[in-house]
Structure 1
């Protein structure tokens, strides 16, 4: 039996990194992408040495072509694809300029779409594709209109792609994490006291009363990639401690 292979975009930190570690533990050959030199360098030191770390900017189709060729040369084929890369630029609608708007769509939609397109010829029949969407795509986030719109665009792809790829038995699903402590909160430029207040207010709205962990989200991705989820396709699984319940 051949060793399964997985590609994880945005796999050098947070949920992507945790998923890479978990799939590696479960016997996968794993390749992860990143764009930030600092997180790439850290991942190269912290991830198991068998996991391949590749610099690839989701905005660049040339990078995506090179990534597909590297996968072909190293592994030949893929069994699982976790489209996890994404950026956020929280700000009110009045503050958006064209460059920020374009950057969000180029990374979150264009980048993931064309990564899938380039990876598809390498994906074995019966493989699994998982998009990381986020609960905001269906519930909204203040000052997150454009980022949420990009995730909504991805979510709308899922049922159509599930139907399109069903003849190859390739399953296409999405996960929508609720609040997860991935370190992204600290990147919003808020002072520590405001950051703590935001985190506490967010956790208080989760029925289970806490943030999720990257490892908990990784378990769901690993499940969807496995044969145990062989009859699940076209679905969006909310992993949010009850965040999707009620008002």
Structure 2
């Protein structure tokens, strides 16, 4: 039996990288899948790749009203939501002395505020017994010189999972966290660097990982499937770390 048969799943940031791989895997496991993203072109491309009747909604998680519209459309199309993957992300890295207020605000708006209000706005559209997975990072307990705001925002997301779990116990809604390490996704190319710079960045992160490689989006998708399905039915407010050993070793 498919693990997500007859389930409705929403994946924010599902138009590329880890989100897209997760959307594909969920659809293969029987879920009715809806993705959100900010770019209509990439959403349409992702929907074609996912298949299985998936839908996409243009939505920016840093704009609270956007999310309510997205969830309403999902309910109109598929019914109430059983799985919510809060995956939309943003990364701005710079030393403390060079980090701008604009970079800080965007980091906070997408990663922290975005995660908080994505869950809040989803509440009327969630079935009791739903599974929510927030995306943090294995850096949420580490100090990295050029990623202070990013790491702090992701640590806040880890904290949200605990508080949300306590608050939503009455509805039997489970909230857990998936914390990836360095994963080979298109995010490496979004800073506008040359191919040599991008390859160098990837090589740095791979060499900093005990397994000496980047993770794949498929490995992360398998983690989301575990947390979304009944396989993790006894996990609540917990963190699944998939990072090649960065956090532990």
Q: TM class, shorter-chain normalised? A: over 0.9
Instruction: Determine if contact 2:27/2:52 at 8 Å carries over to the other structure.
Output: no
Q: 1:98 to 1:201 in 2, by over 3 A?
A: closer
Q: Deviations over 1:33-85 (max 9, x none)?
A: 00024422422332315111110011212211211211221122111100000
Q: Deviations over 1:61-117 (max 9, x none)?
A: 221121121122112211110000010111112222222211111111112211111
Aligned partners of 2:5 and 2:213: how far apart in 1? 40
- Which shows bigger deviation, 152-161 or 22-31? 152-161
The residue number in structure 1 matching 2:75 is 72
1:18 aligns with 2:21: yes
The residue number in structure 1 matching 2:232 is 229
Which of 83, 86, 93 is residue 86 of structure 2 equivalent to? 83
Secondary structure class of the residue paired with 1:129: strand
Aligned partners of 1:200 and 1:35: how far apart in 2? 29
The residue number in structure 1 matching 2:189 is 186
Which stretches of structure 1, 4 residues or more, deviate above 4 A after TM superposition?
none
- Which shows bigger deviation, 202-211 or 74-83? 202-211
Shift of 1:2: 7.5
Aligned partners of 1:180 and 1:31: how far apart in 2? 23
TM, length-normalised to structure 2:
0.93
Aligned partners of 1:173 and 1:140: how far apart in 2? 23
1:243 aligns with 2:227: no
- Which shows bigger deviation, 231-240 or 40-49? 40-49
Secondary structure class of the residue paired with 1:210: coil
1:5 aligns with 2:14: no
Shift of 1:141: 2.7
Secondary structure class of the residue paired with 2:234: coil
Instruction: Determine if contact 2:61/2:67 at 8 Å carries over to the other structure.
Output: yes
Q: Runs of 5+ in structure 2 lacking a partner?
A: none
Instruction: Determine if contact 2:72/2:125 at 8 Å carries over to the other structure.
Output: no
1:10-159 to 2 correspondences below 5 Å: 10-48=13-51, 50-159=53-162
What is the number of residues matched between the two proteins? 246
Q: Runs of 5+ in structure 1 lacking a partner?
A: none
Q: Deviations over 1:9-28 (max 9, x none)?
A: 00000000000000000000
Which of 214, 218, 221 is residue 221 of structure 2 equivalent to? 218
- Which shows bigger deviation, 102-111 or 188-197? 188-197
Q: Deviations over 1:115-170 (max 9, x none)?
A: 11111122112111101101111123331111112111111111111111122211
Aligned partners of 1:70 and 1:239: how far apart in 2? 32
